[in-house]
């Protein structure tokens, strides 16, 4: 399917690895020029080079922490006119509801709520003026179904979800659509580190912890960054103009509900 976005420019945050990289690859496959971002310059440049070589699109790599004002300013400046924004950042650390201080919450809110909001505030006016734009926020299944050990993520992402619900409907009349993609378990470094955490907490091997987590997924496996990226690219396509303010769960059926 032609996604109809060849030649557009996208910022894909936190994209040297994992789900962000999956989104970047799929957008590049649709002919979109990219500004990629991550903190680690080496992995980021390697990803940028691999995408240039595979897809022949323009790729600019900005090594920066997207949760800082300076990092966001550098990424936005490199992009110039932004047609597509994919927000993403590392997830907060696991722990217990009783562990976290005000500082911990502020850090999680900064990374997983206020950073995507600041980026949207920066790019939405231009998109609305031009009459076209797409924003996809990578959030989490924890928005629909809380994950006990990820209380910081549950909290911050719920705040972002509320902001998007109201904002998406205010910018839609100008041809700008905002949606959230909610990953369930996907085979990335983040999932491997959470497997390790679960193994430690339960006193079992990492393999056993992973097998138990997979047993709770009807699809019988973790998702892949490629399939996640393909869904993201569709939401950024010309065909997605009537999908407004939705929370799309990619979890292999793990969330048990009829609707």
Under rule CB under 6 A, residue 18 binds ligand NAP: yes
Answer yes or no: are the C-beta atoms of 232 and 86 closer than 8 Å. yes
CB neighbour list of residue 130: distance below 8 Å, 6 or more residues apart: 81, 83
**Least Å from the CB of residue 151 to ligand NAP:** 13
Under rule CB under 6 A, residue 33 binds ligand NAP: no
Under rule CB under 6 A, residue 10 binds ligand NAP: no
Under rule CB under 6 A, residue 253 binds ligand NAP: no
Helical H runs in the chain?
18-29, 41-55, 69-79, 102-109, 115-130, 151-171, 189-202, 206-215, 225-235
| Contact flags string 109-148 toward ligand NAP, x per CB under 6 A | -----------------------------x-xx-------
What whole-number distance in Å separates Cα of residue 98 and Cα of residue 106? 16
Q: Which of 5, 8, 10, 20 binds ligand NAP (CB under 6 A)?
A: 20
| Interface region with ligand NAP, contact rule CB under 6 A, candidates 10-18, 25-33, 54-62, 93-101 | 10-18
Instruction: Name the DSSP class of 252.
Output: T
What whole-number distance in Å separates Cα of residue 51 and Cα of residue 72? 22
Interacting residues toward ligand NAP by CB under 6 A: 14-20, 37-40, 43, 65-67, 88-91, 138, 140-141, 183, 185-186, 188-191
């Amino acid at each position: 399917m032609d996604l109809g976005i060849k030649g557009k420019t996208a910022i894909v945050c936190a994209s040297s690895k994992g789900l962000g990289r999956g989104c970047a690859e799929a957008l590049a496959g649709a002919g979109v020029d990219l500004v990629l971002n991550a903190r680690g310059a080496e992995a980021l440049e390697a990803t940028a080079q691999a995408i240039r070589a595979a897809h022949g699109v323009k790729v600019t790599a900005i090594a920066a922490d997207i949760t800082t004002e300076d990092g966001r300013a550098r990424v936005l400046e490199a992009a110039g006119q932004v047609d597509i924004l994919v927000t993403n950042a590392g997830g907060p650390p696991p722990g217990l509801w009783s562990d976290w201080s005000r500082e911990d919450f502020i850090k999680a809110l900064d990374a997983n709520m206020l950073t995507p909001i600041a980026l949207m505030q920066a790019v939405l006016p231009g998109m609305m003026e031009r009459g076209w734009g797409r924003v996809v926020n990578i959030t989490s299944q924890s928005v629909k179904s809380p994950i006990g050990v990820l209380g910081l993520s549950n909290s911050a992402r719920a705040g972002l979800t509320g902001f998007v619900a109201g904002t998406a409907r205010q910018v839609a009349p100008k041809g700008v659509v905002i949606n959230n993609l909610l990953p369930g378990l996907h085979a990335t470094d983040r999932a491997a580190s959470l497997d390790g955490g679960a193994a430690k907490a339960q006193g079992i091997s990492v393999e056993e912890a992973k097998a138990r987590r997979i047993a709770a997924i009807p699809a019988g496996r973790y998702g892949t960054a490629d399939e996640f990226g393909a869904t993201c690219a569709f939401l950024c396509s010309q065909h997605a103009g009537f999908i407004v303010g939705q929370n799309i769960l990619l979890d292999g059926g793990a969330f048990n509900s009829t609707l």
